[in-house]
């Protein structure tokens, strides 16, 4: 791809399928000059002397049988355009022969045909958008439904890139203070105490893991919200899983520890009153926690799988048996703060064996008591969560996974250095590595092969 922006490019920007209106887009230093021999304004105006964006009606004088074609020009004469270059959009009839004729007439005026994605590439190179927003443009073009269109538009508005920029800015400030300390080692000046550095690293890691979960899951093709049932053994998780999924594959028995692996099923929650839409979720049933841990190698693996699924969840449903007192593990779990956790009181049809916990939703797998309330609570939580952390478009996810993991490794190493009072030179080096990883995500650090990978799938005119 041509990475130079000192020439003028043009292309048809409207759909190949045609329509009532067609668009030819021009951008570059000679954009205005390309139209001077062709365009006749309906009102006195000089394209070369415009100082602000303007809509200008008129017509184009075309060679051959077309003669004059009515059109409207949308003109951006200064760096406030999409590409930060003088730019013009010609809006006219959507007939393909008309658009082809206009494009060829413009190309005859010293413009060249734009390469696929070159308008968006110029916007990126000029700093108008970052790399995540450039990928969101492609996401808008390729959106297959309203959900994909919404997430692409959110990313295009900066919803994803802004969060990465904020983390990167905080780490840049931290690196500046660390390097300042290195410059004043003889004077024993400390710009950041170790405890403050650790807090900053912990915050950055937590924020990146939250962003990384939504990014990477989108790249695997399974961006469904993950809702995990967890709790002590024999509290009724599998019975609840069967009821919510209309499934009967989860084994239910009075014996503790029946579930030795996790089960997963996609469930369609149609709760219009809760969010105005239907939600598909991935519901996961996990092995129950036991004070004895796994009694054998399989049991240990089941406990490990449970902890991994709980950590990955978008929403954790802690199941508490209402027919018996809380055990020490449940009490300890309740004391911890977790914004992604809802409480479910199972076996609500049995006589209560304890006081109700604040926020607990009583349910019964036998009588279906409280199930509709639980479904609504799940959808409401996920709707709020997706609004705060919208998923990324697939192309961003595919590109960012490796850089995210490298950044997290560098932050982890940096934390170890601070805890062990290691070398500040090594700490600064790890922070620079983390910043390089974040820079690759947003495009502050890039190479030609990264740009080729991002823009090779674009169509001409975008």
pLDDT tens across 390-410, in order? 555 555 655 666 778 888 899
Asked if residue 92 lies in contact with residue 66, where contact means CB atoms within 8 angstroms, the answer is no
As a whole number of angstroms, the distance between CA 344 and CA 333 comes to: 13
Which pLDDT score is estimated for 299? 60
First to last CA, the chain: 14
Does 331 lie in the same domain as 258? yes
Which pLDDT score is estimated for 154? 67
Does 318 lie in the same domain as 304? yes
CATH of the domain at 205: 1.20.120.430
Does 396 lie in the same domain as 383? no
Among 83, 103, 128, the domain-final residue is 128
Which pLDDT score is estimated for 307? 80
Task: From residue 257, give the alpha-carbon distance in Å to each of 142, 249, 252.
Answer: 46, 16, 10
Residue 460 in any domain: the answer is no
Which pLDDT score is estimated for 374? 92
pLDDT digits (tens, 9 = 90+) for 247-266: 655 444 444 444 445 688 88
Residue 459 in any domain: the answer is no
Does 240 lie in the same domain as 383? yes
Nearest to 265 by CA among 230, 226, 216, 215: 226
Residue 363 in any domain: the answer is yes
As a whole number of angstroms, the distance between CA 399 and CA 383 comes to: 26
Which pLDDT score is estimated for 221? 45
Does 421 lie in the same domain as 336? no
CATH of the domain at 348: 3.40.50.300
Residue 249 in any domain: the answer is yes
Residue 292 in any domain: the answer is yes
Tokens encoding 81? 């355009």
As a whole number of angstroms, the distance between CA 212 and CA 314 comes to: 12
Question: Total domain count for the chain?
Answer: 3
Does 206 lie in the same domain as 60? no
Does 397 lie in the same domain as 382? no
Residue 97 in any domain: the answer is yes
Does 322 lie in the same domain as 263? yes
Which pLDDT score is estimated for 57? 95
Does 114 lie in the same domain as 65? yes
Domain containing 167: what range?
161-220+391-454
Residue 36 in any domain: the answer is yes
Does 382 lie in the same domain as 236? yes
Give me the residues of the chain with pLDDT under 70, please.
1-3, 17-18, 65, 141-159, 184-190, 213-223, 247-262, 270-278, 291-302, 386-401, 445-447, 449-450, 453-454
Among 83, 104, 128, the domain-final residue is 128
259-266: long-range contacts (C-beta < 8 A, 24 or more apart)?
259/285, 259/286, 259/287, 259/288, 259/302, 260/287, 260/298, 260/299, 260/302, 261/287, 261/302, 261/305, 262/286, 262/287, 262/305, 262/306, 262/309, 263/238, 265/241, 266/224
Burial environment of residue 64 by CB neighbours within 10 A (0 to 12, 13 to 18, 19 or more): exposed
Does 273 lie in the same domain as 362? yes
Which pLDDT score is estimated for 327? 93
CATH of the domain at 78: 3.30.1360.120
Among 372, 388, 404, the domain-final residue is 388
Residue 149 in any domain: the answer is no
Does 443 lie in the same domain as 381? no
């Amino acid at each position: 791809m041509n990475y130079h922006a000192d020439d003028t490019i043009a292309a048809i920007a409207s759909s190949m399928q045609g329509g009532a209106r067609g668009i030819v887009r021009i951008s570059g230093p000679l954009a205005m000059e390309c139209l001077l021999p062709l365009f006749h304004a309906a009102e006195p105006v000089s394209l070369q002397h415009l100082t602000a964006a303007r809509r200008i009606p008129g017509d184009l004088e075309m060679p051959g049988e077309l003669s004059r074609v009515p059109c409207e020009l949308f003109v951006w004469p200064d760096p406030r355009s999409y590409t930060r270059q003088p730019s013009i959009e010609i809006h006219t009839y959507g007939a393909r022969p008309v658009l082809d004729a206009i494009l060829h007439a413009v190309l005859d005026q010293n413009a060249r045909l734009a390469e696929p994605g070159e308008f968006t590439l110029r916007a990126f190179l000029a700093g108008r958008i970052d790399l995540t927003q450039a990928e969101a443009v492609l996401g808008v073009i390729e959106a297959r439904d309203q959900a994909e269109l919404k997430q692409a538009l959110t990313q295009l508005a900066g919803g994803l890139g802004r969060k990465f920029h904020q983390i990167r800015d905080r780490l840049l400030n931290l690196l500046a203070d660390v390097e300042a300390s290195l410059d004043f080692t003889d004077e024993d000046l400390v710009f950041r105490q170790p405890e403050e550095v650790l807090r900053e690293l912990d915050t950055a890691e937590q924020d990146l893991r939250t962003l990384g979960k939504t990014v990477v899951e989108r790249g695997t093709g399974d961006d469904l919200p993950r809702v995990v049932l967890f709790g002590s053994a024999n509290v009724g998780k599998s019975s609840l899983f069967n009821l919510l999924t209309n499934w009967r594959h989860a084994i239910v028995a009075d014996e503790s520890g029946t579930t030795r692996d996790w089960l997963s099923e996609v469930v369609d929650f149609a709760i219009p009153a809760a969010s105005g839409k239907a939600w598909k979720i991935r519901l996961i049933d996990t092995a129950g926690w036991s004070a004895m841990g796994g009694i054998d190698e399989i049991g240990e693996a089941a406990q490990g799988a449970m902890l991994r699924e709980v950590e990955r969840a978008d929403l954790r449903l802690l199941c508490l048996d209402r027919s018996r007192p809380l055990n020490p593990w449940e009490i300890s779990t309740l004391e911890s703060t977790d914004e992604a956790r809802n409480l479910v009181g199972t076996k609500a049809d049995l006589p209560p064996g304890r006081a109700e916990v604040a926020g607990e939703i009583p349910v019964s797998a036998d009588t279906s008591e409280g199930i509709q309330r639980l479904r609504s609570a799940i959808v409401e939580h996920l709707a709020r969560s997706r609004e705060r952390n919208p998923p990324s478009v697939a192309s961003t996810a595919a590109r960012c996974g490796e850089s995210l993991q490298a950044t997290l490794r560098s932050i982890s190493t940096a934390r170890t250095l601070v805890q062990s009072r290691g070398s500040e030179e090594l700490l600064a080096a790890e922070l620079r590595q983390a910043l390089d990883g974040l820079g690759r995500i947003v495009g502050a650090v890039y190479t030609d092969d990264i740009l080729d990978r991002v823009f090779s799938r674009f169509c001409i005119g975008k």
